[in-house]
Amino acid sequence: MNKRNEIRNIAIIAHVDHGKTTLVDCILKQTGTQRESQQVTTRVMDSNPQERERGITIFAKNASYTYNNHKVNIVDTPGHADFGGEVERILKMADGALLLVDAFEGPMPQTKFVLRRALEAGLKILVVINKIDRPNSRPMTVLDEVLDLFIQLGATEEQLEFPYIFASAKNGYCVLDPKDEPKDITPLLDMILATVPPPDADIDAPFQMLVNSLDYSDYLGKIAIGRIFKGKVKPSDQVIAVAQNQEPKKYKVGKVFLFDRLGKTEATEASAGDIVALTGLEHVLIGHTITSLETPIALEPIEITEPTISMRFSVN
Ligand code: GDP
């Protein structure tokens, strides 16, 4: 099996308010994409009064950045236990996860919930102890508490050897030791490339992708988002949507999008390891497998559901 060495797919997981949005903004800023980030964030927030009121992140927002000739896709994961099933599906798109923990509060209930799911999904976990600038922060103690949580959740020996870093997302820096001189978030960007495995990529196999989330656009209709497990896909390709106990359905792919910063760009082709958004699959649901005509086999016997929330992001 080949690897796509130039790609990393990571999830970002945390208890609410521990700093996911701030860290992603900070990553996009340092990798040169701040302007787009602000525009889109404002639009997303504007479009959803519920999110604004609750002051929490309820959307699975995707982002990507380029660093040292690598493309890193970031999938945001809802931290709420009541989003049953969604977290697992979203984590399936990633090979690694950034677990953010507030250096003052320490691990909280949603930290445990999302960490459990990420460990079950077998992701490489990088621990980010955030908000070390807070006056009463206790980074080393919180790191110990995180280790205890890993043990409590039955992490394997290998999972216990997690890489960790200390951060002040708000002030735009990460350090390997809280006593280090803060500069920027380069240590985190390097750590992601060094420790998260690149995706497996059987590019020559027949096309296979699992639909992990859905989006809608007035202009493009339904948009199926997922990671390509095998093969390649191009606009206008003939595909089949399959699911357990359902009639397979044939479709013609409309457009193929790759994630680009906080938006998307149209692609002429995407292949195994990429996280893509496909249009033209009108009746597709989360949990469906999209395949080439020759191998209509469902990838996962997961429950098919309509999304509990609608997800929006702009399509360039
Ligand atoms: P999310 O819910 O995980 O997306 O959290 P946010 O990124 O929205 O952050 C929640 C709050 O914590 C905001 O008021 C941020 O400004 C603040 N915050 C985020 N990172 C830091 C940090 O490194 N230091 C401090 N002091 N505050 C932070």
What is the rounded CA–CA span in Å between residue 115 and residue 33? 29
Pairing of strands 62-67, 256-260: unpaired
Q: ∠ CA 194-199-204 to the nearest 5 degrees? A: 140
Q: Which helix (H) or strand (E) holds 100?
A: strand 96-102
Q: ∠ CA 234-235-241 to the nearest 5 degrees? A: 80
Span from the CA of 19 to the centroid of ligand 1 (angstroms): 4
Most informative mutation of 23, 170, 185 for ligand 1 (most atoms within 8 A of CB): 170
Number of DSSP helices (H) and strands (E) in the chain, helices first = 8, 17
The pLDDT assigned to 84 comes to: 56
**Residue 35 contacts by C-beta under 8 Å, 6 or more apart in sequence?**
none
Most informative mutation of 17, 20, 104 for ligand 1 (most atoms within 8 A of CB): 17
**Higher pLDDT, residue 150 or 32:** 150
The pLDDT assigned to 27 comes to: 93
The pLDDT assigned to 83 comes to: 54
The pLDDT assigned to 286 comes to: 85
> Is the pLDDT assigned to residue 216 strictly greater than 90?
no
pLDDT digits (tens, 9 = 90+) for 44-68: 333 444 443 333 333 446 889 999 9
The pLDDT assigned to 167 comes to: 98
What is the rounded CA–CA span in Å between residue 66 and residue 108? 31
Residues 12/98, Cβ–Cβ less than 8 Å: yes
Pairing of strands 256-260, 263-267: antiparallel
Span from the CA of 127 to the centroid of ligand 1 (angstroms): 16
Ligand 1 pocket, Cβ-based, cut-off 6 angstroms: 14, 16-22, 57, 130-131, 133-134, 168-170
| Mean pLDDT on 216-220 | 86
Question: Which residue, 261, 200, 204, is CA-closest to 231?
Answer: 204
**% of the chain at pLDDT higher than 90:** 65
The pLDDT assigned to 110 comes to: 92
The pLDDT assigned to 79 comes to: 62
Span from the CA of 204 to the centroid of ligand 1 (angstroms): 43
Span from the CA of 272 to the centroid of ligand 1 (angstroms): 34
pLDDT digits (tens, 9 = 90+) for 224-242: 999 999 999 999 999 999 9
- Whole-model pTM? 0.86
Q: Model ipTM?
A: 0.99
**How crowded is the C-beta side of 239, counted as CA atoms within 13 Å?**
32
pLDDT digits (tens, 9 = 90+) for 3-31: 999 999 999 999 999 999 999 999 999 99
Span from the CA of 168 to the centroid of ligand 1 (angstroms): 9
The pLDDT assigned to 97 comes to: 97
The pLDDT assigned to 119 comes to: 96
> Is the pLDDT assigned to residue 33 strictly greater than 80?
no
Residues 256/207, Cβ–Cβ less than 8 Å: no
Average pLDDT, the chain: 85
Sign of the CA dihedral with 72 first, then 81, 221, and 201 last:
positive
Span from the CA of 134 to the centroid of ligand 1 (angstroms): 11
| Mean pLDDT on 133-149 | 97
Q: To which residue do tokens 């700093």 refer?
A: 19
Most informative mutation of 12, 16, 20, 22 for ligand 1 (most atoms within 8 A of CB): 22
Q: Which helix (H) or strand (E) holds 21?
A: helix 20-30
What is the rounded CA–CA span in Å between residue 232 and residue 138? 47
Among the atoms of ligand 1, which is closest to the Cα of residue 167?
A: 23
Question: Which residue, 245, 239, 183, 198, is CA-closest to 256?
Answer: 239
One-letter amino acid of 204 = D
Phi, psi values for residue 253, rounded to 5°:
-60, 140
Among the atoms of ligand 1, which is closest to the Cα of residue 169?
A: 23
Span from the CA of 242 to the centroid of ligand 1 (angstroms): 41
> In this structure, which residue's CA is closest to atom 9 in ligand 1?
19
What is the rounded CA–CA span in Å between residue 114 and residue 118? 6
Q: What token pair was written down for 243?
A: 């699911």
Which of 117-126, 215-224, 266-275 shows the lowest per-residue confidence on average (mean pLDDT)?
215-224
pLDDT digits (tens, 9 = 90+) for 69-119: 999 999 888 766 555 577 888 898 999 999 999 999 999 999 999 999 999
Residues 99/11, Cβ–Cβ less than 8 Å: no
Span from the CA of 68 to the centroid of ligand 1 (angstroms): 27
> Is the pLDDT assigned to residue 262 strictly greater than 70?
yes
